[in-house]
């Protein structure tokens, strides 16, 4: 069921590039996530075969603009491998916000977020 590509919808895709020696800048994914599970891929042609880590994804719950963000979890994302993430349970009326902080040694990454639509 989860392997059927027709049951996934692309929600966000971005090519990330370092602009200076500080690496790729962290960012909030500019999409509201309301469903679970999600799948994320971080790919890099520059990554060495021994590299595993792409960066950290922090999941926040947000109560629709009242400025009460609560960190629900943090997940290490692998490089060049998809990862399935079952979103933490949150109260009804909350949305998920995702914050990605790439590892400092990456100079280019492709970040893709998929939402399971069943």
Q: So what's the pLDDT on residue 65?
A: 58
Prediction pTM value: 0.85
pLDDT digits (tens, 9 = 90+) for 51-71: 999 999 998 887 665 566 777
Average the pLDDT over 9-35 and give the result.
87
Whole-angstrom Cα distance, residue 16 to residue 96?
22
SS3 71: strand
Average the pLDDT over 31-46 and give the result.
87
For 84-114, b/e burial (b = at least 16 CB within 10 A) is ebebeebeeebebbbbbbbbeebeebebbbb
Average the pLDDT over 88-109 and give the result.
83
Whole-angstrom Cα distance, residue 26 to residue 23?
9
- Would the pLDDT of 80 be above 90? yes
Lowest mean pLDDT segment, chosen from 20-24, 39-43, 81-85: 20-24
pLDDT digits (tens, 9 = 90+) for 7-21: 899 999 999 999 877
Domain boundaries, the chain: 25-116
């Amino acid at each position: 069921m989860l392997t059927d590509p027709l049951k996934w919808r692309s929600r966000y895709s971005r090519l990330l590039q370092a602009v200076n020696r500080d690496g790729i800048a962290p960012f909030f994914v500019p999409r509201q996530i309301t469903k679970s599970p999600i799948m994320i891929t971080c790919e890099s042609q520059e990554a060495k075969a021994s590299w595993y880590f792409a960066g950290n994804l922090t999941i926040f719950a947000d109560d629709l603009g009242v400025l009460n963000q609560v960190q629900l979890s943090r997940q290490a994302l692998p490089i060049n491998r998809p990862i399935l993430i079952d979103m933490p349970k949150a109260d009804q009326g909350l949305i998920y916000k995702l914050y990605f902080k790439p590892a400092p040694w990456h100079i280019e990454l492709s970040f893709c977020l998929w939402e399971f639509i069943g």
